[in-house]
């Protein structure tokens, strides 16, 4: 089948909000006349514990591993045209004022000179979540950043000629930190519980941007190369991040971020206010939206980077579409 294809793979995956984010960015770029020539033929979720099954779908599209998508209780592929309609009718909404950035995020330095200048309609784009992020270690994949070095790949691009990969969780969290007013470059202190793929990506990006990282333990702990500060009882963290959901005693911190995102309740306005930048508890949707934007910016469409929506726009639209799906 001709046309660009997108999937997000992992397990569990049926709750994923990435398909909503993909449709929103796609609709916004098309509305700006930046993506109109590319035909997107397939957007789906793939439930699997093995990266080979995701890569197999990339080479030859099939219906295996495609679960019921919980937001609409049916397979995403069946609902895709309706989801895109929801997205295209949402992108005119102005960003919620309570989500406007406090600080501007510095640009990320990348070595993506080998990437094709422009995207084509014969490509496959993938996002990976647990437990797949550590399963790509082959040099068949050309990294544009430290993804293979830290064994944390969450974004892939297959051009038909070759594979490219990146790790965007880390810079996504850095982006969120600046959005909430944390200047990472001034040595902001991050505490991380866990040492899996997302944790390694976040620690690496935080250190590369000038911040300090302390390990808070966890079932898997960060390697010593991704820690540059010892955890002491007198420390006050700028941000604490529990990547495992196993942190029993959270240390003193200005902000905390839980990558998991639970269903929201209340009116749309109440949801927007609940996730505003005035909250000290940062919902996982912020991290998800930021890393998704980074996937477009760094790997999929770097030629369209200046036309991507802002993080506050994407978050506002995401909550709006979520709310509309629940109403219907």
- All structural domains of the chain with their residue ranges: 4-169+286-327, 171-282
Give the span between the Cα atoms of 206 and 189, in whole angstroms.
Answer: 9
Average pLDDT score over residue span 27-33 = 94
Residues 6+ apart with CB under 8 A from 99: 272, 275, 276, 277, 311, 312, 315, 316
Q: Are 218 and 243 in contact (CB under 8 A)?
A: yes
**Tens of pLDDT along 62-90?**
889 999 999 999 999 899 999 999 999 99
Q: Which fold has domain 4-169+286-327?
A: Rossmann fold (3.40.50)
Can you read off the two tokens belonging to residue 36?
Answer: 């109109």
Give the span between the Cα atoms of 234 and 216, in whole angstroms.
Answer: 14
153 has pLDDT over 50: yes
Architecture of the domain whose range is 171-282? 3-Layer(aba) Sandwich (3.40)
Q: Which of 9-23, 29-43, 163-177 has the lowest mean pLDDT?
A: 29-43
pTM (two decimals): 0.95
Mean pLDDT of the chain: 93
pLDDT for 1 equals 44
pLDDT class of 40 with cuts at 50, 70, 90: confident
DSSP code string of 23-66: HHHHHHHHHTTSSTT--EEEEEEEE-S-HHHHHHHHHS--STT-
**Tens of pLDDT along 292-318?**
999 999 999 998 999 999 999 999 999
């Amino acid at each position: 089948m001709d046309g660009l294809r997108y999937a997000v793979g992992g397990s569990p995956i049926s709750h994923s909000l990435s398909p909503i984010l993909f449709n929103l960015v796609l609709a916004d770029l098309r509305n700006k006349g930046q993506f109109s020539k590319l035909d997107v033929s397939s957007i789906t979720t793939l439930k699997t514990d093995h990266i080979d099954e995701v890569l197999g779908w990339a080479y030859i599209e099939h219906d295996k591993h495609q679960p019921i998508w919980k937001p609409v209780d049916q397979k995403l592929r069946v609902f895709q045209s309706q989801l895109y309609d929801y997205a295209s009718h949402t992108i005119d909404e102005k960003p919620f004022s309570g989500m406007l950035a406090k600080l501007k995020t510095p640009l990320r330095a990348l070595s993506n000179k080998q990437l094709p200048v422009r995207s084509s309609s014969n490509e496959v784009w993938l996002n990976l979540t647990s437990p797949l992020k550590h399963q790509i270690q082959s040099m068949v994949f050309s990294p544009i950043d430290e993804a293979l070095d830290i064994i944390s790949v969450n974004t892939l691009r297959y051009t038909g000629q070759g594979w490219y990969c990146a790790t965007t969780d880390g810079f996504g969290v850095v982006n969120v930190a600046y959005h909430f007013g944390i200047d990472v470059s001034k040595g902001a202190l991050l505490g991380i519980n866990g040492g899996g793929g997302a944790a390694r990506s976040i620690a690496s990006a935080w250190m590369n941007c000038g911040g300090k990282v302390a390990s808070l333990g966890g079932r898997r702990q960060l390697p010593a190369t991704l820690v540059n500060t010892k955890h002491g009882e007198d420390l006050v963290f700028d941000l604490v991040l529990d990547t495992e959901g196993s942190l029993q005693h959270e240390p003193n911190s200005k902000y905390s971020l839980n990558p998991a995102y639970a269903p929201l309740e209340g009116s749309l306005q109440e949801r927007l206010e609940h996730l505003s930048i005035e909250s000290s508890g940062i919902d996982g949707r912020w991290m998800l939206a930021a890393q998704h934007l980074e996937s477009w910016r760094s790997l999929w469409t770097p030629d369209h980077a200046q036309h991507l929506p802002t993080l506050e726009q994407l978050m506002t639209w995401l909550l709006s579409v979520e709310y509309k799906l629940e109403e219907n």
